[in-house]
Structure 1
Amino acid sequence: MVLLVQRLSKVYFKLENHLHHHRHEPEALQASLQDFESHISICLTQLSKPGSEFLSLSWILQCFEILPSVNKAFAKLVVDIDYPMCKWEENSVEEYLEFSLTLLELLNSISSSVSHLGHARLCLSHAVDLVESSPSSAIERLKAVQVKGSSSIKDGFRKTQNKEDGDERLNFSSKEKILHLALLEVKRVGLWICGVILAGLSGDSKPYLETIKELGGLSGSTLSGLDSSFCEAIKQGVVLKEVRELNDSAACFAAAIEAGNSSHGVEELKRKLQAFEKLIDSLTKEVDLLFSMLLAGRNELLNGIRKVLN
Structure 2
Amino acid sequence: MVLLLQKIDKLYSKLENYHHSHQSQALSSSLEAFHTLVCSSLNSFLSTSRSAGSEVPSFPWIQQCFELIPIINNGFAKLVVAVDYPMTEWEGDSVEEYLRYTLKLLELCNSITCSLSHLGKERLSLSHGLSLVENSSPCLAVEHLRQIQVQPKSLSKDFRFQGNEEHGSREPFTTKKSVIHQALVVMEGMVFWVCGILMSSLVGNTKPYMEMRHSGGRLVSSLLAGLDLSVGEVIVENHGMLKEVKDINDSVAGLVSAIQIGRKSKAEAEELQRRLEMFEKMVEGLGKEVACLFNKVLAGRNQLLNGFQHQKH
The TM-score, its normalising length taken from structure 2, stands at 0.84
1:215 partnered with 2:216 = yes
Computing the radius of gyration over CA atoms, which structure comes out larger, 1 or 2? Answer: 2
Corresponding position: 1:28 with 2:26: yes
Q: Distance in 1 between matches of 2:126 and 2:97?
A: 44
**Residues of 2 paired with 1:223 and 1:176: CA distance?**
24
RMSD in angstroms over aligned alpha carbons?
A: 2.2
2:77 corresponds to which residue?
75
Q: Which runs of 5+ in 2 are unaligned?
A: 1-20
Q: CA deviation at 1:165?
A: 2.7
Separation (CA, whole Å) in 2 of partners of 1:213 and 1:74: 21
Equivalent position SS for 2:308: helix
Residue type at the aligned position of 1:277: E
Deviation at 1:122, TM superposition (A): 0.7
Q: Which residue of 2 aligns with 1:94?
A: 96
Residue 37 (structure 1) shift? 0.9
Aligned to 2:51: 51
Closer/same/farther in 2, CA of residues 78 and 262 from structure 1, 3 Å limit: same
Residue 179 of structure 1: how far off its partner (Å): 1.1
1:142 pairs with 2:145: yes
Structure 2 residue aligned with 1:62, among 38, 61, 64? 64
What letter matches 1:257 in structure 2? I
**Is 1:258 the equivalent of 2:267?**
no
- Give the drift of 1:223: 2.1
What residue is the counterpart of 2:271 in the other structure?
268
Q: 1:166 to 1:216 in 2, by over 3 A?
A: closer
For the residues of structure 2 that align with 1:43 and 1:134, how far apart are their CA atoms? 51
Shift in Å, 1:173: 5.2
Seen in structure 2, the aligned counterparts of structure 1 residues 101 and 76 have a Cα distance that, compared at 3 Å, is same
Counterpart Cα distance in 1 of 2:140 and 2:81: 62
Q: Which amino acid aligns with 2:204?
A: G
The partner residue of 1:106 within 108, 118, 122 is 108
Letter in 1 for 2:158: G
Residue in 2 that maps onto 1:164: 166
CA distance in 2, matches of 1:129, 1:51: 37
Deviates more, 1:274-283 or 1:285-294: 285-294
Residues 1:116 and 1:220: Cα distance change in structure 2 (over 3 Å): closer
Letter in 2 for 1:201: L
1:280 aligns to 2:280 (yes or no): no
1:40 maps to 2:38: yes
Offset, 1:89: 2.5
By how many angstroms is 1:285 displaced? 0.9
Q: Which runs of 5+ in 1 are unaligned?
A: 1-22
For 2:256 and 2:233, locate their aligned partners in 1 and report how far apart those are by CA, in whole Å: 33
Specify the code of the residue in structure 2 equivalent to 1:227.
D
Q: What is aligned with 1:85?
A: 87
Code of the residue aligned with 2:34 in structure 1: it is F
Aligned partners of 1:309 and 1:88: how far apart in 2?
Answer: 14
Aligned-partner residue type, residue 82 of structure 1: D
- Point out the more displaced range, 157-166 or 295-304: 157-166
8 Å contact kept, 1:33–1:77: yes
Bigger mean CA deviation after superposition, 49-58 or 111-120 = 49-58
CA distance in 1, matches of 2:168, 2:249: 51
- Supply the distance in 2 between the matched residues of 1:84 and 1:24 (Cα, whole angstroms): 20
Deviates more, 1:53-62 or 1:157-166: 157-166
Paired AA for residue 69 in structure 1: I
Q: Secondary structure at the match of 1:265?
A: helix
Which residue of structure 1 lines up, in the alignment, with residue 192 of structure 2?
191
2:270 and 2:214 map into 1 onto residues whose CA distance is: 45
CA distance in 1, matches of 2:269, 2:219: 46
How far apart are 1:136 and its partner, in Å? 0.8
- Structure 1 pair 253/217, CA: closer, same or farther in 2 (3 Å)? farther
Which residue of structure 2 lines up, in the alignment, with residue 15 of structure 1?
none
Aligned partner letter, 2:99? L
**Could you report, residue by residue, the CA deviation over 1:222-268 in whole angstroms, capped at 9, with x for unpaired residues?**
22322111111123222110000110111111111223212131111
- Shift in CA distance, 219/83, structure 1 to aligned 2, threshold 3 Å: closer
Q: Which has the higher contact order (CA 8 A, sep 6+)?
A: 1
Give the match for residue 244 of structure 1.
246
Structure 2 counterpart of 1:57, one-letter code: F
Question: Hey, which of these two has a bigger chunk of helix by percent?
Answer: 2
